[in-house]
Structure 1
């Protein structure tokens, strides 16, 4: 059992205790980040004269070799090692001897793991941002193609007023745009380097923390060594942002599940994103949408886990903080998978436009506009509200829409109605006379679509450059 701390102990750790304490089974995900951080640390040690130029070059070269050997499968990461840090250092020493033992000069596992987790999380923020951006591109495409696709808008799952599919999907565009903004905020707030904080109180070696931070693409070093090794706020913030993304995906999935039902038939999900029943041959189930909805709770659980873990931890580092990894890794993988599958599902989904339009027309979604018509002809709003309520009851009894009523039938309820009522309550009029920015008319939507196109055209370029460099 390879350990970095055996000198203080007179007997070997119990095997069960060792396994309980070890993290190699999950922190091996960090091998690239651990080697990347070690190379930056060694380059700084060489710059400061703490290592000779030759020692620095030998260690950097050998660390690169270890990374390549892991990636090629030539070198296996096994549970012989307690954690990824001991794996890298032990293999370095095996290959370089005493020179390899100088790697850890001026460094603790506490600031080392804090760096690894931060590097890993920072990269995953970028990957997630890229997936959300892909989703936004697909949503924008749907919006552009459906500025005239009328459908019912809902409150309380009751048909309320007519909108367009572009307008409805645009609501989700705004949600996911806010999600990207949160990811950008997290990236900027977390982008400071903890390496050099030591165990908790810094080090007596003349480290250049600004140089190390710059090598690793950070804005600068963290400013308190105790906070540096005990901070996991960025993990909590990222899991919170991931939970919000999943909440938005889940809301959209819930609507797609409803729209896909026999009662609605607003959409048809592609066969590639559906499954059948083992007993009922007619079934086509929206399993991907249901699984995304279900996996939302899994991501919420990760957030609650780390919040609960961190709530009672005194300064500085405590072993409890090892629990920040497994559920975070799982949540990240879950969200990335859900984003990719959801984007694929909606990109292949067919919208039944005629069914949507008919649903709006027969759902009395133009009732508010009928009341507005009366108000514009001198009827007090409260009276107009009552008149249209009686019209709706009449239509329900007859099984017709308001538009289907004859002018004589309308006049029998209120003599104020004239022939122009039909134009006033047509679905097109109800939608397209709402011209304020953010409303569903085609004119307003085209303004919004132009804004969203501009938003996607001027992307978060500096972070995408970092993402490309690390791929």
Structure 2
């Protein structure tokens, strides 16, 4: 490992202790490296604007940082055990290439605000991805809701047959759910879109840093003003981002549960494309819905990440090294969550309904609620209508399409108002 940024003369570094302190940082920091370089370029420009760097020094640093970004992206520079973390790697590279000029890059900043800004930049990109995937899933669901208005589907409560529903109602439910998730991603993005760079170790510095310019250079929506507040936000804004991801993952989990049931032999409502299933190592007859089962399981990683970070935050104000462990949880939670969501739009496009099996599941009892409402419309008090409709002798096989068309409460099959959902979706596309 190269010399440590904080190492003092006469202090011996114990390799085992340092290995524990560094942990997985050089591996995890590969996720954040380009963002740390981007922030370093903005910081250098800010230093030049207040006279800490000359124009030539800034130009040299900026060029080397761009070269480092290119080398890292191409795999020509590897963040490995030679370095304590990405921050030390960037500084070591600048000193190696630029000598004394490279040593000036850390003026007015700390690794505390470096990791804060890199994490916020990283999360902005992940929230954009989350937003796009939710929009895409909602779009597919809305398209299929329009295309399949006439297909009856058994509706369940408590996993018991309840009322006649439709594929259009099922699709519109997921469309609205993922529209809500896209909205939450937007709202969380606005919360996180604040620049902490320049708050240093949490107490500011005796330099007139041009934080407003750096904020604009990094395209942040606003300045995170309080240095102490910036440190207090550590962990909290990561939790907010994971909550936004978790909202979409909860919907994915429930959708996957529906498909797990609907693809079973007992239901047989849905057929999955072959690429979404795998075979058994023993039973030649099996095709298993492993993709949707792992989609269903993926929320666990997001929940675990939230729990791990939340448990780190029993801390007083100021920076504490405990917070280093938030990084792995964040990377793992978003990594697994976004991978699962990325597979969803194509799955929704390609799944096919088995209409004959769906029709067989529509039994007379599922029209009892329609009967109770019809009797109430004729003037019978609803509680009396309810008791009369509960009598199996009154049940008869109804017309599923007539039942659906009569469901005219807003959002019901007879008044789906898909155009309202489309308007919300269109407003979120920007």
Q: Same fold (TM over 0.5)?
A: yes
| Bigger radius of gyration among the two | 1
Q: Does 1:276 align with 2:279?
A: yes
Q: Give 2:401's aligned residue.
A: 428
Distance in 2 (alpha carbons) for counterparts of 1:198 and 1:6: 15
Query: How many positions carry a matched residue from both structures?
Result: 427
Instruction: Return the alpha-carbon distance in structure 1 between the equivalents of residues 198 and 376 of structure 2.
Output: 72
Which region of structure 1 is more displaced relative to structure 2, 44-53 or 207-216?
A: 44-53
Q: What residue is the counterpart of 1:298 in the other structure?
A: 301
> Whole-Å Cα distance in 2 between the matches of residues 324 and 50 of structure 1?
33
| Separation in structure 2 between the aligned mates of residue 433 and residue 251 of structure 1, nearest angstrom | 28
What is the CA distance between 1:367 and its match in structure 2?
Answer: 1.1
Structure 1 residues 209-251: Cα deviation after superposition (integer angstroms, max 9, x where no partner): 1111010011222121012134122101111222222111111
Per the alignment, in what secondary structure is the counterpart of residue 70 of structure 2?
Answer: helix
Q: How big is the shift at 1:381?
A: 3.8
Are residue 228 (structure 1) and residue 201 (structure 2) matched? Answer: no
The 3-state SS of whatever aligns with 2:278 is coil
Contact 2:138 2:176 in 1 (8 A): no
Runs (5+) with no aligned partner, structure 2: none
Find the residue that maps to 2:155 and give its secondary structure.
Answer: strand
Q: Given that residues 289 and 342 in structure 1 are in contact (C-alpha distance below 8 angstroms), is that contact kept between their aligned partners in structure 2?
A: no
| 1:149–1:357 CA contact under 8 A, matched in 2 | no
The DSSP-based 3-state class of the residue aligned with 2:93 is helix
Secondary structure of 1:135's aligned partner: helix
Q: For each residue in 1:51-103, what CA deviation from the matched residue of structure 2 results, as whole angstroms up to 9, or x when unmatched?
A: 11110111001110111111222222221100000001101110111111111
Report the secondary structure of 2:66's partner residue.
Answer: helix
Residue number among 389, 402, 427 corresponding to 1:458 in the alignment:
427
Distance 2:226 2:69 in 1: 31
Question: Relative to structure 1, is the Cα distance of residues 377 and 5 closer, same or farther in structure 2, using a 3 angstrom cutoff?
Answer: closer
Output one character per residue of 1:91-144: Cα deviation in whole Å (capped at 9) or x when no partner. Answer: 111011111111111111111111111111111111111111111111112211
Alpha-carbon distance in 2 for matches of 1:187, 1:374? 50
Q: Which residue does 1:321 correspond to in 2?
A: 323
In structure 1, C-alpha distance between the alignment counterparts of 2:29 and 2:209, rounded to whole Å:
26
- The alpha carbon displacement at 1:9 in A equals 4.6
RMSD: 1.8
Corresponding residue of 1:61: 63
Cα offset, 1:289, TM superposition: 1.0
Deviations 1:401-437 (A, max 9, x none): 713xxxxxxxxxxxxxxxxxxxxx4222211122232
Equivalent in the alignment of 1:367: 368
- Are the aligned partners of 1:197 and 1:228 in contact in 2 as well (CA < 8 Å)? yes
- Map 1:174-185 → 2, pairs under 5 A: 174-185=176-187
Secondary structure of the residue that 2:83 maps to in structure 1? coil
- Aligned equivalent of 2:255: 252
* 2:389 is the counterpart of 1:388: yes
* Residues 1:386 and 1:230: Cα distance change in structure 2 (over 3 Å): closer
Aligned to 2:162: 160
Paired with 2:73 and 2:390, the residues of 1 have a C-alpha distance of: 70
Q: Distance in 2 between matches of 1:94 and 1:75?
A: 14
Separation of aligned partners in 1, 2:230 and 2:218 = 16
Structure-1 separation of matches of 2:208 and 2:202: 16
Q: Secondary structure at the match of 1:161?
A: strand
Q: Are 2:193 and 1:191 equivalent residues in the alignment?
A: yes
* Structure-2 change in CA distance of 1:77 and 1:365 (3 Å): same
Please give the secondary structure, in 1, of the residue aligned with 2:279: coil
Tell me how far 1:4 sits from its aligned partner: 4.3
1: CA distance between counterparts of 2:306 and 2:9?
Answer: 36
Q: How does 1:339-418 map to 2 (within 5 A)?
A: 339-360=341-362, 362=363, 364-377=365-378, 379-390=380-391, 392=392, 394=393, 402-403=396-397
Distance in structure 2 (CA, Å) of the matches to 1:209 and 1:119: 16
Compared CA separation, residues 372 and 77, structure 1 to 2 (3 A): closer
Secondary structure of 1:217 counterpart: coil
Which residue does 1:150 correspond to in 2?
A: 152
Q: Measure, in 2, the Cα distance between the counterparts of 1:205 and 1:382.
A: 75
C-alpha distance in 2, partners of 1:427/1:146? 14
1:417 maps to which residue? Answer: none
Name the CA shift for 1:215/1:377 in 2 (closer, same or farther; >3 Å).
closer
Q: Who is 1:467 aligned against?
A: none
| Aligned partner of residue 154 in structure 2, secondary structure | strand
Counterparts of 1:24 and 1:381, CA distance in 2: 67
In the TM superposition, 1:435-454 aligns within 5 A as 435-441=408-414, 444-445=415-416, 448-454=417-423
The CA distance in 1 between the partners of 2:381 and 2:125, in whole Å, is 60
C-alpha distance in 2 between matches for 1:207 and 1:6: 23
Deviation at 1:460, TM superposition (A): 4.3
User: TM-score, length-normalised on structure 2?
Assistant: 0.95
Note if contact 1:273-1:286 (Cα within 8 Å) is conserved in structure 2.
yes
Q: CA deviation at 1:344?
A: 2.3
Structure 1 equivalent of residue 17 of structure 2: 17
SS at match of 1:76: coil
